[in-house]
Amino acid sequence: MSNLKGKSVARGVPGAHGQGSDSRARVSANHGRGSGDFVFDMRPLGRQPGSVRDETRTAHAPDGLGSGLARVPAAAEVALDLRFEAVAEGVLVTGSAVAPLAGECARCLDPLASTMEVSFQELYRYAPDPGEDEADEERFLDGDWLDLEPAFRDAVVLALPLSPLCQEDCPGLCAECGVRLAEAGPQHAHGADVDPRWGLLRQLDVSDRVED
């Protein structure tokens, strides 16, 4: 989680510098974090502005994608639907990613599983202008290779719910005894706050609750 914006993340695909005929396979094999799935070859697109290519791919989510109560599990399948467009200064990527989402309900802590979809549009430039400092926010191609992973990471991190809920109106846990209120029912209460309708049962001494 600490390396989301580092310059090195957006560049430096091991094995991607050569012009070998079998480059993609080598990139995938050599990409240590198993995220070569997010590296795309821009040679079929070419550099003629206006050139467009659509590509779909199933990639495997990188590690460490999530925070707090919600995350995309490592190696989970991510469906990428992308459009690459050559523009004067680089390649514009527009697309979406659908990924599984795992986590815990922020109120009752039940495990939850769902999916999330993020969309993004990012410009990957061919190279910084002469004399320009490579700003952290910018993304660059590495030769003919475009590593979508940092853009995907940023989009997911922004979209992850801070307080995921198992259901919209999850009542959470009882503040006193920790029981899940969805199971205990609306009448669940303690001491003086007990629902009056239960008063008769309490007189019959079937309740083991502590009297205040």
Question: Contact residues for Zn ion (CB under 5 A)?
Answer: 105, 107-108, 110, 166, 170, 174, 176-177, 179
Residue 79 vs 174, nearer CB to Zn ion: 174
Residue 16 vs 108, nearer CB to Zn ion: 108
DSSP state for residue 210 in the 8-state scheme: P
Residue 99 vs 166, nearer CB to Zn ion: 166
Least distance to Zn ion from the beta carbon of 162, Å?
15
Least distance to Zn ion from the beta carbon of 165, Å?
6
Residue 81 vs 110, nearer CB to Zn ion: 110
**C-alpha torsion angle, residues 77, 160, 56, 27 (rounded to 10):** -70
Least distance to Zn ion from the beta carbon of 194, Å?
11
Q: How many CB atoms lie within 10 A of CB 19?
A: 8
**CA dist., res. 207 & res. 198, Å (int):** 10
Q: Which has the closest alpha carbon to 83: 129, 46, 52?
A: 52
Q: In 3-state terms, what secondary structure has residue 75?
A: coil
Least distance to Zn ion from the beta carbon of 169, Å?
9
